[in-house]
Structure 1
Amino acid sequence: MNVQFFPSRRIAFYMARLFVMRSLAVLAALVVILMTLDLLGESGDILAVEGNSQSDLWRYVGLRIPQLIERFLPFSVLLGTLITLATLNQNSEIVSMKAAGISAHQIIAPLMVASIFIAAFSFVFNERIVTRATAALNAWTAVEYGEVPPETGILTNVWVRHEDDLFFARQVSGRGADTRLSGVSVYDRSGGTLEAVLTADSARPEGGAWRLDRVTRFDVASAERSEEASLRVGEGVDPIQFTLARVNPDEQDFWMLRESIAALKVAGRPTAGLEANLWHKISGPLSSLLMPLLAAVAAFGLARSGQLFVRAVIGMGLGFAYFVADNFALAMGNFGAYPPLLAAWGPFALFLLIGEAVLIRTEE
């Protein structure tokens, strides 16, 4: 009985090379097509800004391509696996391998090992390049492709929830005790019912609470409006809740996001959605490891039986089902319905078992 992990060195390198080259070819084709379509839709808005030229179009392409590579790399690995295995099956190479005593797991083993390297590359690429490109592109689109102002540390349109009350600030500047809010609105609620709305020109921290200046109070029950020079509200609202109110996980690498989550926990802010995105930064690239297993069904069965196309469709269906389940679980994690670890790793573990069960059931 052949108990080696790989079929042979020659066959392993042969299959791994076919798999990697086809996956890269699919990825390149997808990126070129999708980038062209995306650029056709955005070029008008970019060139409509005075001073923008063709160089800004290339700037947009340079910032957008890393996002496309991140999103479609696992999908390209799936299609690359299907093309590789279907071609080997069509040419009876799979039949020859099985006739030589090579098992189904040994046949896909070189693809799995190559996928590990692809996953490692994907993780490093996402951490070092995609996060920076996303942050730069978001800053550029926020000013509608105009000139991006230098970083000032000023946040805009920040919402903070403390118990039942909601706090809104049009601008937040400074850090810690030097935090200053402007254009402040406080929605005083009790049991989910709005009781009063406070608006103020500015606010500053004071003894564990906030001092509002030039306050206008609207009482919902009596519909009366009153004005005060200053008012102390928001007992227990930490300034860090405003300065860390907006954390975009797509713009931060794993370690930076981890530090942001720790700071938000200290401030008493909910972090379940961010924790799901934190762990998905690892499980996302590792999805490339699943694709050869899910698409392996296309490798087996006699090609002349007429079921090769059906098997390829089944493999593609399993891959698409994983992407749907992964996006759904991550959305539920962001919503707080799933625990972070379940949202990030649940689909991966589920489809790992499904792929292994299908492979054993059909071929082993």
Structure 2
Amino acid sequence: MMLQFFPSKRVALYMGKLFLVRTLAVLALLVIVLQTLDLLGESGDVLAYPGNGDAQLWQYIMLRAPQIIARFLPFSVLLGTLVTLATLNQNSEIIAMKAAGLSAHQILAPLIVVALGIALFSFTFNERIVARASATLDAWQAVEYGPLPRDSGVKTNIWVRDGDDLVTAAIVGGRGNQTLLRNVEIFNRTNNSLTTIVHAPRGHFDAKNGGWILHGAKSFDVLRGTTQSIGTFRFGRDIRPDQFTLAKVDADGLSLNSLQAAIHDLKDAGRPTAALEGSLWHKVSGPLSAVLMPLLGAVAAFGLARSGKLFIRAVIGMSLGFTYFVADNFALAMGNLGAYPPIMAAWAPFLLFLLVGETVLVRTEE
């Protein structure tokens, strides 16, 4: 029996179902509470745009909820683990399993398998839904919750320098010679003093002659305080399309393959990519953190409930789980600063706490 991963199929199904239901219940509760609080804080900005109403509020919820689910799914797995194991311990079911000959690892095996399934779901959910929702929400917020741009995968709030002048585009879509700009502003400066501001609702790259063409442009003279319409306006012969499309790469708004392509383009353009490479690795290690939660929360499963230390064990398990999330965020921050290599920033906390959880389990129960 000690060599079998699942000595009892019935017990494995019972524990797996118990764990899954409690994890989903905790996740639903967290999403409802956090989405409500977030909506209360953001609804004023959504409704501030003329014509917005209940439909736009529901649209905001549909775009924001996937982000909340993705962020708090590992927390839900941790809390689901603690609730499940503490309940089994309180009802002496853990003692019965150990009396039947099951080891601590065999007791946790069904939870780890379910957590692996949750990790696979989380990865797929992030790739298919969260990345698109994040990109769409960023583009919507860039136009202050106005009409949503057709291309929801655009980049927003891009700044590019052209000599002494600064160019900003609220929305950038397309790629290469097909790059399109929306809500463009050019800040013309002379001797570090702002002279004129050119604004245009749209623009595109002129592949034939080089440079960029703005349509419906207006010029504001800072010294005189006057505005005049200048129609079509050319600028930025030295600005390459990749300076707009690669100026801001949001890893959260890109799928794994899209982020890999963006990193490749940045490397070709001679840009630093260490932070994005860390985010690329974290797209795999992040969802996989759900597998750690049953191991870190296992301390709540063992020990006599009547000893009065069950609550303390649950707190210890929760502390281990939350310490992992703190270490994970710290490692990513160090990776963004260049202090850690990208692969180390993404995987070091996972491997460290895997060893910590296994050590605690072996030393205390095996």
**TM > 0.5 between the two?**
yes
Name the amino acid aligned to 2:270: G
Q: Give the conservation status (yes or no) of the 8 Å contact 2:142–2:157.
A: no
Shift of residue 178, structure 1, vs aligned partner: 8.6
Write the deviation string for residues 323-344 of structure 1: whole angstroms up to 9, x where unpaired: 1011111122122221110111
The structure-2 alpha-carbon separation of the partners of 1:106 and 1:173, relative to structure 1 and needing over 3 Å to count, comes to closer
The structure-2 alpha-carbon separation of the partners of 1:178 and 1:18, relative to structure 1 and needing over 3 Å to count, comes to closer
Q: Percent identity?
A: 61
3-state SS in 2 of match to 1:145: coil
| Counterpart mapping for 1:342-361 below 5 A | 342-361=344-363
Shift of residue 143, structure 1, vs aligned partner: 1.7
Q: Give the conservation status (yes or no) of the 8 Å contact 1:47–1:53.
A: yes
The structure-2 alpha-carbon separation of the partners of 1:151 and 1:27, relative to structure 1 and needing over 3 Å to count, comes to closer
1:170 to 168, 171, 187: 168
1:183 to 183, 186, 190: 186
3-state SS in 2 of match to 1:300: coil
Shift of residue 7, structure 1, vs aligned partner: 3.2
Name the amino acid aligned to 2:186: G
Aligned mates of 2:295, 2:164 — CA distance in 1: 48
Write the deviation string for residues 63-119 of structure 1: whole angstroms up to 9, x where unpaired: 111111001100000000000000000000000111111000000000000111100
Q: Is 1:284 the counterpart of 2:282 in the alignment? A: no
Shift of residue 6, structure 1, vs aligned partner: 1.6
Name the amino acid aligned to 1:264: L
Q: Give the conservation status (yes or no) of the 8 Å contact 1:82–1:295.
A: yes
The structure-2 alpha-carbon separation of the partners of 1:74 and 1:174, relative to structure 1 and needing over 3 Å to count, comes to closer
Aligned to 2:13: 13
Aligned to 2:33: 33
Aligned to 1:77: 77
Gaps of 5+ in 2: 199-204, 213-235
Please give the root-mean-square deviation of Cα atoms over the aligned residues, in Å: 3.3
Aligned mates of 1:183, 1:5 — CA distance in 2: 65
Q: Is 1:64 the counterpart of 2:30 in the alignment? A: no
Aligned to 1:115: 115
Q: Is 1:88 the counterpart of 2:88 in the alignment? A: yes
1:244 to 235, 243, 246: 246
Aligned to 2:301: 299
Aligned mates of 2:141, 2:22 — CA distance in 1: 34
Write the deviation string for residues 209-267 of structure 1: whole angstroms up to 9, x where unpaired: 999xxxxxxxxxxxxxxxxxxxx998xx8652443111111111000100010011000
Aligned mates of 1:13, 1:246 — CA distance in 2: 47
1:340 to 342, 359, 363: 342
Aligned mates of 2:155, 2:290 — CA distance in 1: 39
Q: Give the conservation status (yes or no) of the 8 Å contact 2:82–2:300.
A: yes
TM-score by length of 1: 0.81
Shift of residue 197, structure 1, vs aligned partner: 5.8
Q: Give the conservation status (yes or no) of the 8 Å contact 1:241–1:264.
A: no
Shift of residue 168, structure 1, vs aligned partner: 4.4
Write the deviation string for residues 6-44 of structure 1: whole angstroms up to 9, x where unpaired: 231010000000000000000000001111111111222
The structure-2 alpha-carbon separation of the partners of 1:154 and 1:249, relative to structure 1 and needing over 3 Å to count, comes to closer
Q: Give the conservation status (yes or no) of the 8 Å contact 1:160–1:245.
A: no
Aligned to 1:129: 129
Aligned mates of 1:21, 1:149 — CA distance in 2: 39
Aligned mates of 1:352, 1:186 — CA distance in 2: 55
The structure-2 alpha-carbon separation of the partners of 1:348 and 1:184, relative to structure 1 and needing over 3 Å to count, comes to same
The structure-2 alpha-carbon separation of the partners of 1:53 and 1:10, relative to structure 1 and needing over 3 Å to count, comes to same
Shift of residue 55, structure 1, vs aligned partner: 1.1
The structure-2 alpha-carbon separation of the partners of 1:25 and 1:363, relative to structure 1 and needing over 3 Å to count, comes to same
3-state SS in 2 of match to 1:183: strand
The structure-2 alpha-carbon separation of the partners of 1:174 and 1:198, relative to structure 1 and needing over 3 Å to count, comes to farther
Shift of residue 167, structure 1, vs aligned partner: 8.3
Q: Is 1:158 the counterpart of 2:159 in the alignment? A: yes
Name the amino acid aligned to 1:99: A
Shift of residue 184, structure 1, vs aligned partner: 6.7
3-state SS in 1 of match to 2:102: coil
3-state SS in 2 of match to 1:169: strand
Aligned to 1:215: none
Aligned to 2:257: 255
1:319 to 315, 318, 321: 321
How many residue pairs end up in the alignment? 331
147-156 or 71-80, larger mean C-alpha shift? 147-156
The structure-2 alpha-carbon separation of the partners of 1:112 and 1:128, relative to structure 1 and needing over 3 Å to count, comes to same
Shift of residue 166, structure 1, vs aligned partner: 9.4
3-state SS in 2 of match to 1:351: helix
